[in-house]
Structure 1
Amino acid sequence: MSTALAIPCPHCGAINRVPAERADEHPNCGRCKQGLFSGHPVEFTATNFDAIATRGDLPVLVDFWAPWCGPCVGFAPVFLQAAAKFEPRLRLGKVDTEAQPQLAARFGIRSIPTLILFKDGREAARQSGALNAAQLQQFVANALAPH
């Protein structure tokens, strides 16, 4: 018998049960019929953050950034490529700290870019500063490794 993953829809927030072995087959949301994965980071807001980032069985890696931040802008293509690589094992999302200051304050963001990996709805790892692709992969591997 297969294990079903609870996967929040990035569009409507509905929880979808997807057999683990079928998660990479581009499943659609049962409610809104849109794809559960797009290969792009989810744009998080105060409205959708908790419904997507802190629920479900997938770990979620969030990039807290700002459009005026040079290192953030330089890191953006690395993060975008990572979304295509890590989905459906890991959901990636972005929080624009200028547009969503309440989320930045809630998570105590003091410098950007800051990455926070959420597992089981809680912060599991944090990294400040831009990373290259190899460093990002290592951060994710270390954060997801069983302790």
Structure 2
Amino acid sequence: MPESRHERQPAHVCPHCQSVNRVPAAKLADQPNCGRCQPPLFTGAPIELTTATFTRHVERSDIPLLVDFWAPWCGPCKMMAPQFQQDARLLEPKVRLAKVDTEAEPQLATRFGIRSIPTLALFRGGREIARQAGAMGAKDIVRWASSAVVS
């Protein structure tokens, strides 16, 4: 049955211009572009979030947001970074991956009570639904995120 024009289409925040785009779930596999600035909405890479952009992505997007809280001086964070990068290609567009540098954005680390890094936090519907501290391998990240999204 075709989608009615009155049905609400899922919202996705553009990682480039931060505008909210409405894209039917069936069209996400077609690699949609932002209606405002035109680059792809999903790039297969984690996006960098700041205090200014974080809330918009958590509250305005209808897909889960997996955030890696990290710091440039953290050895385990550096070891996990390529795994997290790889997982963006596997999980998008079902889950958006993002990174928050806790050194550059200490307000976000404080707001979410980040006590150790790396810490992965999964958000859906504007709230945190799961958290995992410590470095993980690529397969473990995908498995953990997928099981948390389903539950």
TM-score interval, normalised by the smaller of the two chains? over 0.9
Residue in structure 2 matched with residue 28 of structure 1 by the alignment: 33
| In 2, Cα distance between equivalents of 1:54 and 1:113 | 23
> How many Å apart are 1:53 and its aligned residue?
2.6
Task: Give the equivalent residue in structure 2 for 1:76.
Answer: 81
Aligned residues: 146
* Cα distance in 2 for residues equivalent to 1:106 and 1:56: 20
Give the counterpart letter for 2:127 in structure 1: R
- 1:131 partnered with 2:141: no
In structure 2, runs of 5+ residues without a counterpart are: none
Query: C-alpha displacement at 1:134, in angstroms?
Result: 2.1
Alpha-carbon deviation of 1:34?
1.9
Tell me, in whole angstroms, the C-alpha distance in 1 between the residues paired with 2:59 and 2:79: 27
| Residue matched to 1:114 | 119
Q: Which residue of 2 aligns with 1:57?
A: 62
Question: Structure 2 CA distance, aligned partners of 1:140 and 1:65?
Answer: 17
Deviations 1:39-66 (A, max 9, x none): 1101000111111233221100000000
Paired residue type of 2:119: T
Higher relative helix content = 2
Partners of 2:58 and 2:82 in 1: CA distance: 21
**TM-score when normalising by structure 2:** 0.92
Q: Taking structure 1 as the reference length, what is the TM-score of the superposition?
A: 0.95
Equivalent in the alignment of 2:102:
97
Moved over 6 A (4+): none
2:53 alignment partner, one of 20, 31, 48: 48
Give the Cα–Cα distance (whole angstroms) in 2 for the partners of residues 54 and 118 of structure 1: 9
Percent identity of paired positions between Structure 1 and Structure 2:
54
